[in-house]
Amino acid sequence: MNRLIIIQQKGCLGILTLNRSKTLNAINAELQQEIITKLEDWKTNRLIKSVVINSSHSKAFCAGGDIRQVASFVKAGQYEQAVDIFLHNYQLVDYIARYPKPIISIMDGITMGGGVGIGCFSSHRIVTERAVLAMPEVKIGLTPDAGSNCLFAKSPGYSGLRMMLTGKSFHAEEAVILGFADYIVSSSIIQVLLTQLEKREVDDVLGSLKRDKEYKPALLQEINTIYNSPDVETIIARLKRSQLSWAKEDLKEILKACPFSLQVTYRVWHKKPANLRNALQQDLNIISHLIWCPDFIEGVRASVIDKDRCPQWDKTPVSPQKVETCFVSSYKLYA
């Protein structure tokens, strides 16, 4: 049986390589526990100065939580087990964000959902030209989670809300613009960087590679004009009227999303969490409601199981009261 993570110690560097390749390193309780156990060990190891988290998969860093398994638990009525998958994911994100030593994430390929949580809350975040990041949860009846709203809330203007509502993927340069990455590095020199990190301080190796990127002012103004709206319906109406090519693409994506998820996600972005732990608790509250809605099972069917990309969403009008109920639950990030 393949190990869930490959552990290496080279010089002053600890390397955790995600190795659940058949699931694109989808996070389950076992993977979460193995990562935390090793990080706990290295926390007090004076020889380890920094940690790298990367992947053995040639096309993926981490595709997030194990959604197939969540859906299976929900169908079987095993509600607590389904929620636990998200809980373990969120606790891992929180642990990584609070880790006292530098953690360098190398997002070299697909990075979604909980994978964004692991990669983008590390202290030093690398993306390569092969990186594809996304929080497409609105396409399966959920909402962007794993603390991602902490980052989207700080993205320029209304660009974060745009990404949350459309579930669009974004690549290396836009990851930096949105605040999800610090360094753009060619995949061809990753091994060279690792060799240097075995002997040198992280900032000495990566400092000169840090890049500041930003949207062109005209594009950001266009985004703000459409997404600075009083509700989701107004955003959709403005997208329909727009002749801008990117707005037409946004419209295609947003019309594929679960209507209820769009309403909840709009409210999530506007709430602006005070910190990551608050954001993760809010995510847990919301997810514990949404996975019990029929839209979740239908979204997983259409996107993950049958892959027909034709979900039959519940089109019942959504009341503000129903949206607000999602923000309260009895589940706690930590007991």
Segment 20-40, tens digit of pLDDT = 988 899 888 899 999 999 999
Task: Locate 225 and state its tokens.
Answer: 């004009």
How much is the CA Rg of the chain, to the nearest whole Å?
A: 20
Residue whose structure tokens are 């993570």: 5
Does pLDDT of 268 surpass 90?
yes
Does pLDDT of 80 surpass 80?
yes
Residue type, 105: S
Segment 136-190, tens digit of pLDDT = 999 999 999 999 999 999 999 999 999 999 999 999 999 999 999 999 999 999 9
Q: Give the Cβ contact number of residue 207 at 10 Å.
A: 10
Q: Tell me the DSSP string of 242-253.
A: ---HHHHHHHHH
Residue type, 246: W
Q: How many Cα neighbours within 13 Å face the side chain of 152?
A: 33
Q: Give the Cβ contact number of residue 40 at 10 Å.
A: 12
What percentage of residues in the chain have a pLDDT greater than 90?
A: 93
The pLDDT, as a whole number, for residue 64 is: 87
Segment 207-237, tens digit of pLDDT = 989 888 999 999 999 999 999 999 999 999 9
Helix (H) / strand (E) element for 115: namely helix 114-120
| Residue 315 Cα distances to 77, 165, 250, 318, angstroms | 24, 17, 20, 8
- Judge whether 263 and 318 are in contact, CB under 8 Å: yes
Burial class (CB in 10 A: 0-12, 13-18, 19+), 173: middle
Q: Distance (Å, rounded) from C-alpha 130 to C-alpha 121?
A: 19
| 3-state secondary structure (DSSP) of residue 24 | coil
Does pLDDT of 1 surpass 60?
no
| 3-state secondary structure (DSSP) of residue 308 | coil
